[in-house]
Chain A
């Protein structure tokens, strides 16, 4: 069995974990990473997946040493990171609330329009629909759909797995302005509801196309953050053979220990036991 793992900078954690312990999953795994939105132009044409934009092709070649990936060569595809993140829920939270959030029990005056609380009340149905749409609109959502359609067109029936992006490190509390939405949600007690809402939304949005793997519970610190044990020592997405650590103020990426747990999740989803 052979799989292709695609992703943006968050792929680095999986790649490093796999390099460290290739036997963790009993199959061959190729990695196709691209910085930022590089994979936006990664499309299928005639059974071949490749980045189409010149800058994206340069980036893919530099990071992966190759450009083309034949759909038929693979038994499964994995998309990791690429905006499939609880950030989507926090973005809604910046401007809106719904009654399912615990803090709303304390917001009666605002509900009656007495004050301007700095956010707008929306229905939970509206919230969920907007969140699902946001998820489908991320690079990850688009890639998942694209890969599922290519698998269906090619008749290979390859499984597609979407791995959500890790939550920011709990150390991000050191930068309250940068992570204001997360911290506001935690202080107001809405954090767990937001995290659960995101996980339900990502499952619902991507279910027609992929199996969705959410962040392993034991890697979380509180509802919205990644425990420092799984964020400290994260690596940049870099060409094979290079190990470039993120600066201590990165806060966004997980480390290879986290990547190893995700590889376990993928193995379980594919019923692939670790290689003996």
Chain B
């Protein structure tokens, strides 16, 4: 007597697909629907997306950069000022709400003077407070730089053939009056938290899906035919303000994002899902893809993720020994470069 499980591949069984498999070289976990080839790729998302963008560039993918450093700068300084982390200096785009806003702002050129935060006489773009770590001289400077940034994002999106977005968080701080979403709670980097005005919103799965659909539609407005690759950051929440335990909040948040990304990929032929979350959190890795803080993804973890991605895309060999020339090398100091994540500022004991 036969049954459907008889004919399944090894990857369909936990024992052979996970327990006995090498977590650093997962086979068959990703079969690309969206092929990168020689396409122009843009990256955005939470801090894990920085690793994705860097690995793609190293593999020779045509990753767009709307805002390269305009003059020579040491790498660490450039990174501190948000250069080269993503395809533009938008900083970490943690939530789908933020992504929608960014796309809409880029389309309209909308800049709101109310979205400039102040701290100790310095001024910050509330939509990307981390990209100017020393703050700006005046609100006018913040607004001028935002105008310039949005114009460059719009021009970049018009060239983008594949948009790679890493979903990071469901917990979003918003403005009750305007509905605008912030990357960080006001008062952390700059600005002032006003409990009457600022509220936490924990996005539900239908909200994330709806937001992703609107984002997709906006991307297609920028460039018809643009495809998307979605992935979920495996980096746990630094903190939750939703009222529960951070572990439960992380699981909830990642589950929502994972399910929403899967639903998008199932519904649209031009949307793909890449399982970076699964590769890093794979129990077979026994936690070794996380650093000592159990949050940061190690260089080995990033390598494991990008090896699968690049090999499946035909951009690198799957075997670790051969892949070392084209995917991040664990011994490469760049591969282990700590991503720039403002949300670490949520933790008062981070030092």
Contact = CB atoms under 8 A, between A and B. Distances in A.
B145 A123 contact: yes
Contacts of B109: 112-113
B120 to A, nearest CB: 13
B71 A92 contact: yes
B141 interface: yes
Nearest to A93: B71
Contact of B141 (A112, A120, A124, A130): A124
Contacts, number: 67
A269 interface: no
B136 interface: yes
A96 B72 CA distance: 11
A78 interface: no
A223 interface: no
Main secondary structure on A side of the interface with B:
helix
A111 interface: yes
Contact of B137 (A100, A113, A120): A100
B135 A125 contact: yes
Given A112-B109, A137-B74, A125 B148 contact: no
Contacts of A218: none
A129 B137 CA distance: 14
Interface string B130-174: 001011111011001101101110000000000000000000000
Interface residues of B, number: 26
A21 B132 CA distance: 51
B196 interface: no
Interface string A88-122: 00011011100110000000000111000001111
A133 interface: yes
Nearest to A111: B144
Contacts of A129: 73, 77, 80-81, 134
A111 B70 CA distance: 15
A126 B144 CA distance: 14
Contacts of A126: 81, 132
Nearest to A96: B70
Given A95-B71, A122-B70, A125-B137, A113 B148 contact: yes
Given A99-B141, A126-B132, A112 B147 contact: yes
Tell which of B71, B74, B138 has the most Cβ of chain A within 10 Å.
B71
Given A111-B148, A123-B145, A130 B73 contact: yes
Interface in A133-147: 133-134, 137
A122 B71 CA distance: 10
A53 to B, nearest CB: 24
A99 B72 contact: no
Contact of B73 (A111, A112, A133): A133
A223 to B, nearest CB: 20
A133 B80 CA distance: 13
A59 B97 CA distance: 63
Nearest to A129: B77
Given A112-B147, A113-B147, A113-B151, A119 B70 contact: yes
Contacts of B70: 92, 95-96, 119-120, 122
Contacts of B148: 111-113, 120-121
Contacts of A133: 73-74, 77
Contacts of A99: 137-138, 140-141, 144
Interface string B61-74: 00000010111111
Contacts of A91: 71-72
B260 to A, nearest CB: 33
Contacts of B74: 133, 137
A205 B328 CA distance: 34
B322 to A, nearest CB: 37
Tell which of B67, B74, B135 has the most Cβ of chain A within 10 Å.
B74
Contacts of B141: 99, 123-124
Contact of B145 (A92, A95, A119, A121): A121
Interface in A196-239: none
A130 B71 contact: yes
A94 B70 CA distance: 9
A122 B132 CA distance: 10
A125 B73 CA distance: 13
Contacts of A119: 70
A111 B148 CA distance: 6
13 contacts: A96-B71, A99-B140, A100-B137, A111-B144, A113-B152, A119-B70, A121-B144, A122-B70, A123-B132, A124-B136, A125-B136, A125-B137, A126-B132
- The 10 lowest CB-CB distance pairs between A and B, nearest first, are A113-B151, A120-B70, A96-B70, A125-B134, A95-B70, A121-B148, A92-B71, A130-B73, A111-B144, A112-B147
Interface of A: 91-92, 94-96, 99-100, 111-113, 119-126, 129-130, 133-134, 137
Given A91-B72, A96-B71, 11 more contacts: A94-B71, A99-B141, A111-B144, A111-B147, A112-B109, A113-B152, A120-B67, A129-B73, A133-B77, A134-B72, A137-B74
Interface of B: 67, 69-74, 77, 80-81, 109, 132, 134-138, 140-141, 144-145, 147-148, 150-152
